[in-house]
Amino acid sequence: MGPLDGVRVLDLTNVLAGPFCTHQLAHMGAEIVKVEVPGTGDLARQLGGDHDLNADGMGVSFLAQNSGKRSITLNLKRPEGRDLFLKLVRTADVVVENFRPGVMDRLGVSAEVLHAENPELVYCAISGFGQDGPLAKNPAYDQVVQGLSGVMSVTGAPDGPPMRVGYPVADTLGGLTAAFAIAAALARPKPGRGTVIDVSMLDSMLSAMGWVVSNHLIAGWAPHRAGNDNIAASPSGVFQARDGALNIAANKQEQFEALANVIERPDLVDDPRFADRKSRIENRKALTEAIEAALASVDAGDWVDRLSASGVPAGRIMTLPDILAHPQVADRGLVDAVPTPGVAREVRIVRPGFRMDGERPKTHLPPPELGAQTETILDELGVSTGDRAHLKSKGVI
């Protein structure tokens, strides 16, 4: 049993930010009912690196974040579909959607309508820019939000173009923000009245960039691209050893002194150019050249071992397959194998990045085939066989 055991969530979301949110709730034990469009379902079913899975409606992008959910197909554009959805809402604790602002109103299932059916419902809307403001109704994909948020302006080499982060960070942070807000609303319910949560991916990005934003707002610092260098400390960044690169983050004075000793350059500590944090930043290029000259005689992995043993933060720059195979990850149960009907291969997904009382949260249902639990959920709602036949003939389910 997870901390959200007994909580029912209706998931109207597509692709990434919303499904990622509800996937986190599923790991916490919530029951997720994924409400999908008949015939097509979540667009993520057609996305991912395996074209055969995409064609089967079980794309990797879908498999990655939809375990722990049940799927019902329901056409909300039909009055009968809307009525069935309202019936589901009466049984639910949470509704999550990531349509563009205004869509739920047009479908006749706005927060006000849903709260009339279920006064204590937690309603969470995830969108690119929030429910109001001049950009609210603009279409938003992850890369668009990355660019608008300023994160691309501080990512990349100083003399290069702005760069996107190498994974959909805006979608992911938006989903995490939504899951956090929903959990908070459930932790302190408001008897007799519901909650409306308005999650903006843009706001979520700026909030997560608080360190950079505050340096601008408080210190007047102009954010800029610095490549792999830590703009607030030196030596802190990527350094070349004999066989490749490693990260070193000697941000504190004692770490710099330990680094100098490990690389057998204690003279660097007495050099006035490197006397304190400010001077080391001002003379970063000269310091980096001196350190890399010393590192060139030994492989990166050996330096990581020596530096770590001396209290200097350091690490290899690894590929994703390498770190997933590393015992630090492989032995801690982060990756879970999920036997999945309709998929003739092993499905492995990433579980949440924490343990609770020594246990890693996990889901207990496979990613569902489209509409796989429609009949079961209609049974739970008491929909008769005759009514189901009518609904199918109308394309409602």
Phi, psi of 134 (to 5 degrees): -65, -20
Q: What angle do CA 28, 29, 31 make, to 5 degrees?
A: 125
Is there a cis peptide before residue 168, judged by omega within 30 degrees of 0?
no
Task: Specify the CATH number of the domain 8-209+333-393.
Answer: 3.40.50.10540
| Confidence tier at 166 by pLDDT (50, 70, 90) | very high
| Confidence tier at 39 by pLDDT (50, 70, 90) | very high
Cα distances (angstroms) measured from residue 77 to each of 98, 170, 182, 298? 16, 29, 27, 65
Distance CA 158, CA 316 (A): 23
Q: Which residues contact 71 (CB under 8 A, 6 or more apart)?
A: 34, 36, 41, 368, 369, 370, 371, 372, 373, 374
Instruction: Dump pLDDT digits (tens) for 265-289.
Output: 999 999 999 999 999 999 999 999 9
Fold of 236-318: formyl-coa transferase, domain 3 (3.30.1540)
Distance CA 3, CA 357 (A): 12
The H or E element spanning position 307 is: helix 300-309
Full-model pTM? 0.93
**What is the spatial order of strands in the sheet that 195-200 belongs to?**
69-73, 31-36, 8-11, 94-97, 122-127, 195-200
> What is the 8-class DSSP label of residue 29?
T
Phi, psi of 165 (to 5 degrees): -65, 145
Confidence at residue 26, expressed as pLDDT on a 0 to 100 scale: 98
User: Are residues 28 and 339 in contact, defined by beta-carbon separation less than 8 angstroms?
Assistant: no
| Confidence tier at 146 by pLDDT (50, 70, 90) | very high
Residue labelled with tokens 């500590």:
269
Residue in 34, 38, 97, 42 with CA at minimum distance from that of residue 70: 34
Is a pLDDT exceeding 90 seen at residue 199?
yes
Residue in 54, 173, 56, 196 with CA at minimum distance from that of residue 124: 196
Active site residue 93: no
Is a pLDDT exceeding 90 seen at residue 1?
no
> What is the 8-class DSSP label of residue 368?
P
Is a pLDDT exceeding 90 seen at residue 222?
no
- List, by residue range, all CATH 3.30.1540.10 domains of the chain: 236-318
Instruction: Dump pLDDT digits (tens) for 297-308.
Output: 999 999 999 999
Which one from 42, 93, 142, 171 is the annotated catalytic residue? 171
- List, by residue range, all CATH 3.40.50.10540 domains of the chain: 8-209+333-393
Tokens of 62: 């879908």
Confidence at residue 190, expressed as pLDDT on a 0 to 100 scale: 86
DSSP 178-190: HHHHHHHHHHS--
Instruction: Dump pLDDT digits (tens) for 285-332.
Output: 999 999 999 999 999 999 999 999 999 999 999 999 999 999 999 999
User: Are residues 104 and 130 in contact, defined by beta-carbon separation less than 8 angstroms?
Assistant: no
Bridge partners of 248?
237, 314
| Confidence tier at 124 by pLDDT (50, 70, 90) | very high
Q: Which residues contact 317 (CB under 8 A, 6 or more apart)?
A: 238, 244, 245, 246, 247
DSSP 166-213: SS-HHHHHHHHHHHHHHHHHHHS--TT--EEEEEEHHHHHHHHTHHHH
